[in-house]
Amino acid sequence: MASSLDAYLGSYAGTDPLRLKVAETIRHLAAASVKVRNTIIAGGTGENLGQSREVANSGGDIQKELDVLADKVFLEAAKASPIAFYGSEEQDDAVVLSTDGAIAIAIDPLDGSSNIETNVSIGTIFSLLPVEDGHHADPASVFRQPGSSQLGAGFFIYGPQLMLVMSVGNGTHVFIFSPGFGGFVELRSSVGIADRAHEFAINASNYRHWDETMRIYIDDCLAGAEGPRERDFNMRWIASLVADCYRILIRGGIFLYPGDGRKGYAKGRLRLTYEANPIAFCVEHAGGSATDGVTRILDIVPEDLHVRTPLVFGSKREVARVTRYLTDPSAIGERSPLFGKRSLFRA
């Protein structure tokens, strides 16, 4: 029989005080995800879950009813957990919950809310960070830790099945909610991202706004077996970060959300603290790589809770190739007559 989430967390935590708090927090988050899932299945609690509200969140995005509902549900879960600070996409500032909590949570309560009305998979992304004494004097500082400091991270997917993809630093594991069992059971004990990519995920409608080097990279992928990459690629774009990430964890590939020339998009649109960092943590512990195009995501020190970042993640060799395109475009072999259509970086 597959291991339950509860059993897995118990084995992970042992008698370590901090790990026990991490495990307790994840249990509360899992229970909250079931509440959100049940609301989605029921079609809401009287509201139109996909209806836009007149207010925008801290990042300037128009909130949907489900964004607000999910934030309330996970805030209540955080209050029941050993959490000192709650930092959410839907809150302007960190919420102080406890003066003696050992953990801070950075969370996107409802990722992919633009997909609510079209019944596409959406999710919740979370990052768990340690709380030090100095953070209590300046709550905002707890979210200025690099992603490498995360105690654990993961995301829930509300799709055909309710799933939890999670890492507490010892691999990336997938759990599925079983209504018959009444909880989450392990679906995949250890995910490993394929080293070589055959799929890429990017919003190609923004092609005209990208830097030339990003356009060149995508052009080379689109050229297929006849081009410098000498193999065909599929393109996938769900516009739901959790769904795109889960596909890459299972099938390999690469996800790209670069900055571009539009106003407000110089650093992309994804948030470092509660989107890129937890995704990068899970991807790296599955053998993949995650960067802002050049720099490892988990090494970046956030300026604040809501700072944005470009994001490239997936198969390690493909992410490294993108970095080479961006940092040394003159060395891209397929752009040199000497090499014709063959690339210096051919894998």
Q: Is 292 a catalytic residue?
A: no
pLDDT for res 248: 98
Exactly one of 89, 186, 220, 244 is catalytic; name it: 89
Exactly one of 186, 199, 260, 275 is catalytic; name it: 275
Q: Is 299 a catalytic residue?
A: no
Fold adopted by 5-188: Fructose-1,6-Bisphosphatase; Chain A, domain 1 (3.30.540)
Round to whole Å and give the CA distance between 305 and 213. Answer: 30
- Intervals of CATH 3.40.190.80 along the chain: 199-335
Fold adopted by 199-335: D-Maltodextrin-Binding Protein; domain 2 (3.40.190)
Exactly one of 49, 66, 67, 292 is catalytic; name it: 67
Exactly one of 71, 111, 199, 318 is catalytic; name it: 111
pLDDT for res 83: 98
Q: Residues of 248-285 as b/e, b for ≥16 C-beta within 10 angstroms?
A: bbbbbbbbbbbbbeeeebebbbbbbbbbbbbbbbbbbb
pLDDT per position as a tens digit, 10-68: 999 999 999 999 999 999 999 999 999 999 988 754 556 655 555 555 555 668 889 99
Exactly one of 110, 164, 241, 272 is catalytic; name it: 110
pLDDT for res 344: 38
Angle subtended at Cα 296 by Cα 335 and Cα 172, rounded to the nearest 5 degrees? 115
Reduce the DSSP state of residue 162 to 3 states and report it: strand
pLDDT for res 56: 54
Q: Is 304 a catalytic residue?
A: no
DSSP assignments along 105-159, one per residue: EEEEEEETGGGGGGT--EEEEEEEEE--HHHHH-GGGGGGS-GGG-SEEEEEEES
Round to whole Å and give the CA distance between 38 and 96. Answer: 28
Below-50 pLDDT ranges, the chain: 45, 334-347
Round to whole Å and give the CA distance between 261 and 265. Answer: 7
Those residues with Cβ within 8 angstroms of residue 342's Cβ, 6 or more apart along the chain or in another chain: 228, 333, 334
Instruction: Single out the residue of 342, 284, 344 nearest to residue 315, CA to CA.
Output: 284
Exactly one of 108, 199, 292, 318 is catalytic; name it: 108
Q: Given its phi and psi angles, is residue 44 left (phi above 0), alpha (psi -120 to 50 degrees) or beta? A: left
pLDDT for res 117: 82
| Burial (Cβ within 10 Å: 0-12, 13-18, ≥19) of residue 153 | buried
Please, are residues 286 and 316 in contact by the beta-carbon 8 Å criterion? no
Q: Is 275 a catalytic residue?
A: yes
The position carrying tokens 């992603």 is 147
Round to whole Å and give the CA distance between 313 and 199. Answer: 12
Three-class secondary structure assignment of 34-62: HHHHHHHHHCCCCCCCCCEEEEECCCCCE
Give me the sign of the Cα torsion angle 200, 327, 279, 56: negative
How many of the other CB atoms lie within 10 Å of CB of 181? 12
- Intervals of CATH 3.30.540.10 along the chain: 5-188
Residue 98's Cα: distance from chain center in Å?
26
Round to whole Å and give the CA distance between 185 and 163. Answer: 9
Q: Is 219 a catalytic residue?
A: no
Q: Is 108 a catalytic residue?
A: yes
Q: Is 111 a catalytic residue?
A: yes
pLDDT for res 340: 42
Q: Is 133 a catalytic residue?
A: no
Round to whole Å and give the CA distance between 141 and 145. Answer: 7
Q: Both ends of the chain: CA-CA distance in Å? A: 41
pLDDT for res 341: 45
